[in-house]
Every structure is written in structure tokens, then in C-alpha cells.
Structure 1
């Protein structure tokens, strides 16, 4: 950044590109104007940029933050903090990254010794968590100007051994089906909180939405910078939900139900009308008096808690012990429930869920297709 503060033309012999830009442009066009790459490289350093570019630097930082979600950044920050602590305890330097050190670190994570000596009640990390942690470390190293070669044998071979020894089938959350949803909304009251939660469950189920997509919705288009999409209600047809995903924008059609009791559109219209919501976040917090709607957006954790609480209250999977049932349900149960309940052509379910491949959709249809084809009988047994 020091060179940005030097007089015009100082050290110009060290920057041929700058000379060419000045020679090719009108007189004074580039005088004193630093290269934007230099500014980006200097972000976060104590030196200050020229006053007329400080606002642009802050804008660039905001765009850099917007490249990933806040939850992702928080997780990656914790990953690097955990790795740095392990390095200090074991006499290693976290930077620059050494593949041998990374190999030892993931071995410690898999064996349960990453936090020090094995302690009772502190399990080893799962294979999925270790792989996620590697991604977090790679991201952190990249932000600091380093690279991590995960294909290096010191990492890849150790990770392959961890997968072979410790990998387990994924534990999927239980899908709540159509009848389950009806029983779940029947446990809700008819006050403001109950109306809001009923709309959340029905819209999330019928739209096959993720919990972050549900709480990220706004009432109208381009309303909030932190929004993930908006809704449009068509009087005789349903609701069109426009969502911003990782791969771009997509539209989700939510039609009207067969009865007002279980219709997501009716529930949504009722919540908007009685909650007096004209703009801003669609789903908001409600004050303790249960009469006043806040302006703040709901946390996505509320959706997970809501699904779990109402599923338990409705007696979904009552054949299992209470403690086991509590672990079965989450916000993802709504999305999986639609895929398992909708007995229509697979391509329609795939489009609704926004899946790029039919194979991913089939993973969600775990209950619908289970034992549908009996190869035992088909083989003549």
C-alpha cells in the first residue's frame, strides 16, 4: 500500500504496465490512480488507502463476504481455529500449510486425540466432519495466499484409510408425510404464533424448501438485501416462490390444497393479513405478548425446532422411544417428506426440489420407493 501513497510517477519504472496505461491514455488519466488489484491485495492491512478509494475498498470487502454465507464463514473460521490450536499444542506452525502436518491432524481428528489426550465422552470426528474440516482449511489457506494440495499422498492416502476404517452409512432425517403434516399443524394454536408456524410448515412442505430458504423469503421482490427470494400470490392458482440458490435463481410453484385446513396458500394469506405484513421478511419473530410482530427475520433454527416439536406432539413415529424420536426430525424432514409423499413423475419432484440430477432426487424418495419393486418375486421365488 506504500506505493499507493507515493507521488505521481514515483517508482514508475518498476511497473511497465502502469507506464503503458499512462502513455496510451489522455494526459493525467491514470495519475495517482492505483491498480484495483493492489487495493484488494492490501485489504485488511493497517496501511490506509487513499481517501477517495476507502469507500470502494469497503464495497469490495462486502462483495468478498457475499461470496459465501455467514454460516459457512463461521464454520470455516472455527475449523482453522481448531487446527491452529492443535498445531500450537504439538509444536507445529499452522502457516504455511505442510501436507505432512495436515495428515497428522486429520489422523488425530479420526482417532479422537485432536483435543489432546482421549477423554471420556469426547468422540472422534466423523468422516464427513473431517472432510468438511479439510474444505474449511483449504478455504482459509487460500484467503491467506497459500494453497493446499488435497491430492498429495500425505493427505489423500491417510484420508482414504480413514474412510475405509471409519466410514458409516449417512443418517438421514425422517421424512414427514402428508398425513403427518396435517397432524402436526393440528397441534398449533390459532394465535399469531400458531398462524405463522402453520404457514411455515405447509409452505416448507409443499414447496420442498430448505429451512434457510423458508426464512429467507420476503413479501415482495427486491425488498431486503439479505433476502433469499420472494413470493407472488395468484388468487385462483397458488403461490410462485422465487429463490436464489447456489447455482442461480429458480421458481417453485405451490398450488392450492384440497381443503383450507391444509392449504399452504390459505395459511400464507391468513398469516400475511393478520400479521399485517406488507413488506420485508415474510416470517418474523413475535414478541412475548403474542400480539406484536417484530421486523426482524426469523432464524432458520426456528424451523428445525418447529418441525421437531410438532412432530413429537403429533405422535409421528410413536412406535419408537421418545429419546430416539427426538433425533429423527429436523427442518430437512419437510423437504424429504414432499419427495416421499408426491406420487407423481420423478421429473416434477426433481424440478420442485431444484436438483441437478435425478439420482439426488431418488435419495430423497427413500420411503416412497422402498420395497416398491420386489425382485424376489420377479425372479420366481
Structure 2
């Protein structure tokens, strides 16, 4: 595989400074700023100074580019590109143009633990390797280049990696209603932080929301630039308007049978005592729990909250502590609704915002397990 792989110090230099698409748009020039020197990886016309009347268009283009993918995706793609660039530099391989043979050796290194840039024996999972390939393809495409993932040097190696290293998918444990109630009991209702966490857990569960959707909500429509939706409290419940992976959708969250487990009451209590009337719903509590900040929470806070509350409440206490800590994350709330709600599949699909019924069925794994006994049905 190594024969013919391009080498050369000039090709490998400046690897981590290679611009991503955000930088490419920025290099078009901003009003009042001097034009940047052209990058050797970009054609001259790409980095030419734009006329003054097009400067605002360049700014808008940059904003649209940022909106094309989530912040988490951009961070992952940037990190993966830097890792690949660094690996090419250490091996003396050229970064440009994309060479399937180089990429084939790269995924072999990270799959086998032969990557000298990571701790000895640190092998990456198949899903991580596949994401790295997607990252490389995306980064090359933003530079006007194409990485042929169907080339035998990549496709055949990847097929072998899947056959040898693929493992069954690890799904996060579904938080069922009795688990959620136990988790709520671990929260301090006398503090702002406890009220906020209570509202996040109930809203996330009842709405079947992703963690980014939970923290992305505002009190009302068009209140912040980074909003992913807003809430509207009605007589019978709460209407949540969301911009998710599959586009805009409305999520109906009905009132609970008891105020202690009602997501609407929990949210109203949090907003009232935190004195939030505009902007992000869920914010950081500061000043020893007595003050509420202005910025919205990071979605990682939802995952940490679910894990902390589940462990404290003793959910799945039949398992060792180390194993239990890996079971819970933000997705546990979403899975819990699908695994416990005894409703028609189409209603769950709409609530969760799934594009296909097959995806919804994967979420209903605990609810439907052993519901149909084919052993008895066959006469045994």
C-alpha cells in the first residue's frame, strides 16, 4: 500500500493551520479588515479581496456555514482533521492532495493501536473510525478536493476493520417513570438549582427531547440568535416548537396527574422563582445557588445531570458501580418515554421527531421485549 504515497516536507507543513470552511469564508474578507494572505491550499480566486458592497454577503455566508452543522459536529470535524494532519506530518506523508492509500494506512493505525500519537494500545472503536472518515471527506470537500472512500485502499481496509473489531451497539439505559420519580426525589426543591434540574428532567422525559433541544429552548419565539425553539403554556399542557435534526416540529407535553411530577408545573415554578421572562429557559445557577446567569446551559450539563441523578437514586443498583456509570446519559430520558408510553407507534414517532418508524421501534426496545412469545405461539 505504501508504494507511490506522496511525501515531502512542504506538503506536510502547516497541517494544523489548514483552514476549515469557516476560515475560507472569512478569507473572502470582512468590511474594514485587510485581506488575508492566500492559503496555498486554496485557489487564488477564493481568497481574493471582495468588493466593498459584497462584504456583508461574506459575513452572511459565514453565518450560514456555521448554521449548516452543530457546534459539536464542527468541533469533532476540526479535532479529527488536526489529528490526521499531525499523523501525516509524523509519518512524512503529504496532506494534499487526498490519497486513499495514506488514509488507508491512517485508519489501520488507529484501529490497531499503532498510532504513535496516542497512548500505547489505545484502539479506536469502529464508530469513531467511521466518523474520522466522514470528517476527512468533509474537510477535503471544503477545500475543493474529493476523498474517494470507495477506493479499495479505504473500502477494503474498512471492511476488514468492521469484521474484526465491530461490537454490538451500546444503547444508553432507558429511564422509566419509576426511575425518574426516584431521581426527582434526590433533587433539593428548596434551591434554584434543584428546581431547574427538576424542570429539565421532566421536560426532557415528557417531550422525548434530545439534550441539545432541552437547553436550546427559549421562553418565547425569536428571543435569541442561538435558539432552537420556544415554549407556550396552554390550559391542557405545553406546546414546544423545536428545530431538530429533521426540521421544525411541534411537541405536545400534557399536564401530569400530579403537580409533583407535572413538567408544566415544574417549568413554571422554575421560571417564576428564577425570575426568567425572556431568553434561554435553562441557565447556570451561580452565587452559591442564589443567582441565575444570563447564558444558556451547555448540552453536556443535561447528560451529567441524568447520570448523577440516576446513580444517586440507585437506578440499576443490581450492577457494579463502574458499569452503572456508563449506562446513563441525556438520551436515557428520550429512550425512557419511548420504552414506557403505551401509545400507538405513530404518536411516538411524531413526538420524537423520527424520520422513520424503524428508528422509533429501536427506542421501544424495553417496552416490547418478550411481548410476543414465538416459542409458545409455535406450540412449545
Scaled by the length of structure 1, the TM-score of the pair is 0.86
Q: Which residue of 1 aligns with 2:233?
A: 233
* Cα deviation digits, residues 88-134 of structure 1 (max 9, x gap): 11110111100111111111111111235x854x4211110000000
Contact 2:283 2:294 in 1 (8 A): yes
1:165 and 1:357 map into 2 onto residues whose CA distance is 30
Aligned twin of 2:244: 245
Native 8 Å contact 2:209 2:334 kept in 1:
yes
d(CA) in 2 for partners of 1:246, 1:349? 16
Counterpart for residue 254 of structure 1 = 253
Which piece of structure 1 moves more, 203-212 or 68-77? 68-77
Within 5 Å, give how 1:2-17 maps onto structure 2: none
CA distance in 2, matches of 1:352, 1:40: 37
Deviation at 1:56, TM superposition (A): 2.5
1:43 aligns with 28
What is the CA–CA distance in structure 1 between the aligned matches of 2:369 and 2:144, rounded to whole Å? Answer: 49
- SS of alignment partner, residue 253 of structure 2: strand
Q: Please tell me the root mean square deviation across aligned C-alpha atoms, in Å.
A: 1.6
Is the 2:28–2:50 contact (alpha carbons within 8 Å) kept by the matching residues of 1? no
Specify the alignment match of 1:208 in structure 2.
208
Matches within 5 A, 1:268-279: 268-279=267-278
Is 1:330 paired with 2:315?
Answer: no
Q: How does 1:353-368 map onto structure 2 within 5 Å? A: 353-368=352-367
Q: What is the correspondence of 1:128-147 to structure 2 with a 5 Å cutoff?
A: 128-147=127-146
Q: Does 1:195 align with 2:195?
A: yes
Superposition deviation, residue 272 in structure 1: 1.0
Structure 2: gaps (5+ residues)? 1-23, 30-35, 38-47
State the match for 2:292 in structure 1.
293
Match of 1:95 in 2: 96
Classify 1:209/1:41 alpha carbon distance in 2 versus 1 (closer, same or farther; 3 Å). Answer: closer
Q: Could you say if the C-alpha distance between residues 270 and 359 of structure 1 is closer, same or farther in structure 2, counting changes exceeding 3 Å?
A: same
Instruction: Name the CA distance, whole Å, in 2 between partners of 1:352 and 1:157.
Output: 40
Name 1:13's counterpart in structure 2.
Answer: none
2: CA distance, partners of 1:50 / 1:347: 52
User: What is the aligned length?
Assistant: 340
Alpha-carbon offset, residue 41 of structure 1? 10
1-side partners of 2:72 and 2:248: how far apart? 20
Q: Deviations over 1:14-38 (max 9, x none)?
A: xxxxxxxxxxxxxxxxxxxxxxxxx
Match of 2:61 in 1: 60
Partner of 2:313: 314
Q: Distance in 2 between matches of 1:377 and 1:145?
A: 60
Secondary structure of the corresponding residue to residue 203 of structure 1? helix
Output one character per residue of 1:42-90: Cα deviation in whole Å (capped at 9) or x when no partner. Answer: 6375353333332332222122122111111111011111111111111
**Secondary structure, counterpart of 1:243 in structure 2:** strand
Unpaired runs of 5+ residues, structure 1, are 1-38
How many angstroms apart in 2 are the aligned matches of 1:323 and 1:248? 37
Instruction: State the 1:299 CA deviation.
Output: 0.8
Q: TM-score, normalised by structure 2?
A: 0.86
The answer on 1:149 being equivalent to 2:134 is no
Equivalent residue of 2:376, what SS? helix
Alpha-carbon offset, residue 287 of structure 1:
0.6
Q: SS in structure 2 opposite 1:258?
A: coil
Distance in 1 (CA, whole Å) between partners of 2:287 and 2:202 is: 24
CA drift of 1:357 comes to: 1.0
Distance 2:53 2:372 in 1: 69
